[in-house]
Amino acid sequence: MMKRILITLIFIASIFSCNLKKGNSNPVPIDYKVNKYGLMIGHTFNSINTPIDWTWAAEVDIDGKIDSTGMDSYMYLGEPLIRINGTDCLPALFIETKKDLITEFSCSILFWTENYSSSVEEVIKIIKTDIGLLNDSAVIKSLTDNSKYQREIENCIESIEISFDKKTGSGTFIYKIKNKV
């Protein structure tokens, strides 16, 4: 009888331990190359089976050190170049973690343009294979009319923003998802 109780306790402890390692009990998928990377808000970033080799982003890290008990920032600059308006652009990926759980993700792309409205259409056309939201006509309308889109999904805020600086002729595309809290 005592052996059964001990085995049951070990079994329950191992299930609890696995759930802690996975992170949030209701993880939210990150809509950036979801089939390739499988990133999720609420999961540990270093236990995900992805080809991403995250690098510590010391310049934006809040406490200036990597530790699994605090908040940390990481970046990835190994995405393939994409061509926008005849110029190669590098998508930059960033994550914020708290106790090794992903709390925020963003993909930023800087591009050059002379015609903002045609650039918005071109950026959407190129990026929509990587971000499923860009296949939704309501999202595209919001981006072309207001240069931004935002929604709440479970316990997260997901947004897309496209901006343009007339002085420099540069545009910025940012997809972001983060915990509400």
* Tens digit of pLDDT at every position of the chain (181 positions): 444 433 333 333 333 333 333 444 589 999 999 988 889 999 887 765 667 888 888 877 776 777 777 888 899 999 999 998 888 999 999 999 998 899 999 999 999 887 766 778 888 999 999 999 999 999 999 998 999 999 999 889 999 999 988 888 899 999 999 998 7
Contacts of 107 (CB under 8 A, 6+ apart): 32, 91, 92, 93, 94, 130, 131, 173, 174, 175, 176
Predicted confidence at residue 24, as pLDDT, reads: 43
Pull the structure tokens for residue 25.
Answer: 């009990």
The token duo for 3 is 């052996």
pTM: 0.81
Task: Tell which phi-psi region holds residue 30, choosing left (phi > 0), alpha (psi between -120 and 50) or beta.
Answer: beta
Phi, psi of 171 (to 5 degrees): -125, 155
CB-count burial class (<10 Å; 0-12, 13-18, 19+) for 16: exposed
Q: What is the pLDDT of residue 48?
A: 58
> What was the pLDDT predicted at 55?
86
The strand pairing partners of 106, in sequence order, are 94, 176
Comparing C-alpha atoms, which of 112, 56, 105 is closest to residue 84?
112
CA atoms within 13 A on the CB side of 165: 9
Q: Nearest CA to 39 among 118, 107, 86, 90?
A: 107
Write down the pLDDT at residue 176: 98
